[in-house]
């Protein structure tokens, strides 16, 4: 049996002199690895299709182990992301999230579309922080650990102002914010943004402008939340943070 799957390259490792093992997130079969023989050789027909964050159609024999790639047709290489070191760092982070958070060989087309749409949006100029917030929030929901952003976690009140509480896993209203002394105050706009990012598709977000100080607060909240609830520790996130800190100096 031969499988044909649309996939995103999550990462690659060199194997032997000239081969590469490519980890793919495929739409049809979930996360899996294939061996691309000779992919490291100059002029290899697998050269383009075995680079990180390439989206292509891959053909390989069905097997429990490592199938050998038969053919690959590149759909897109996200050329704008590739030309920008910051965007590259964001894209690497997003792909490492997919790699670490998803199980092997469990088809999840909706999540595949989320990552593809996110990279597409980033390539077309949507703020990479917004793309990351959306992907993080969706992934958290998929993992069953999403923050509660639709009103107060205690009483359900939808009345602003809110504070965000890590220990309660979401928003607290004015009446209940004292339940967590570490809860951080968020403006109505920030609370709404978090909610919108957690439920809207990229196509519905459109071009959104987020002020730098708002982004910093959202980043702090999301980083702290991801750290506490996801258990994911990503090398690419440290690289991205270092790069962003260099830019701030």
For Zn ion, the binding residues (CB under 5 A) are 152, 154-155, 157, 173, 176
> Which of residues 139 and 183 has its CB atom nearest to Zn ion in the complex?
183
Task: Give the residue among 137, 140, 175 at the shortest CA–CA distance from 154.
Answer: 175
> Which of residues 155 and 189 has its CB atom nearest to Zn ion in the complex?
155
CB-CB contact of 10 with 23 (8 Å): yes
Smallest gap from Cβ 182 to Zn ion, in A, equals 17
Smallest gap from Cβ 175 to Zn ion, in A, equals 5
> Which of residues 51 and 157 has its CB atom nearest to Zn ion in the complex?
157
Nearest residue to Zn ion, scored by beta-carbon proximity: 152
Smallest gap from Cβ 54 to Zn ion, in A, equals 47
> Which of residues 176 and 237 has its CB atom nearest to Zn ion in the complex?
176
Distance CA 9, CA 20 (A): 12
Smallest gap from Cβ 197 to Zn ion, in A, equals 22
> Which of residues 37 and 148 has its CB atom nearest to Zn ion in the complex?
148
Smallest gap from Cβ 169 to Zn ion, in A, equals 14
């Amino acid at each position: 049996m031969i499988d044909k799957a649309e996939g995103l390259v999550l990462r690659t490792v060199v194997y032997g002199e000239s081969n590469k093992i490519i980890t793919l997130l495929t739409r049809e079969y979930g996360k899996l690895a294939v061996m691309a023989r000779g992919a490291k050789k100059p002029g290899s027909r697998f050269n383009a299709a075995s680079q990180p964050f390439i989206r292509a159609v891959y053909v390989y024999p069905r097997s429990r182990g490592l199938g050998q790639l038969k053919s690959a047709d590149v759909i897109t290489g996200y050329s704008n992301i590739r030309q920008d070191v910051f965007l590259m760092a964001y894209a690497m982070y997003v792909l490492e999230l997919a790699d670490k958070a998803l199980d092997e060989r469990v088809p999840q087309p909706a999540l595949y579309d989320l990552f593809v749409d996110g990279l597409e949006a980033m390539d077309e100029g949507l703020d990479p922080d917004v793309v990351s917030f959306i992907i993080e929030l969706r992934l958290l929901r998929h993992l069953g650990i999403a923050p509660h952003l639709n009103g107060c976690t205690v009483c359900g009140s939808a009345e602003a102002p809110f504070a965000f509480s890590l220990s309660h896993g979401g928003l607290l209203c004015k009446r209940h914010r004292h339940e967590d002394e570490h809860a951080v105050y968020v403006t109505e706009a920030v609370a709404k943004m978090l909610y919108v990012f957690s439920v809207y598709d990229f196509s519905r977000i459109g071009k959104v402008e987020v002020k730098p100080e708002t982004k910093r607060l959202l980043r702090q909240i999301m980083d702290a939340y991801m750290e506490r609830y996801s258990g994911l520790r990503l090398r690419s996130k440290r690289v991205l943070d270092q790069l962003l800190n260099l830019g701030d100096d």
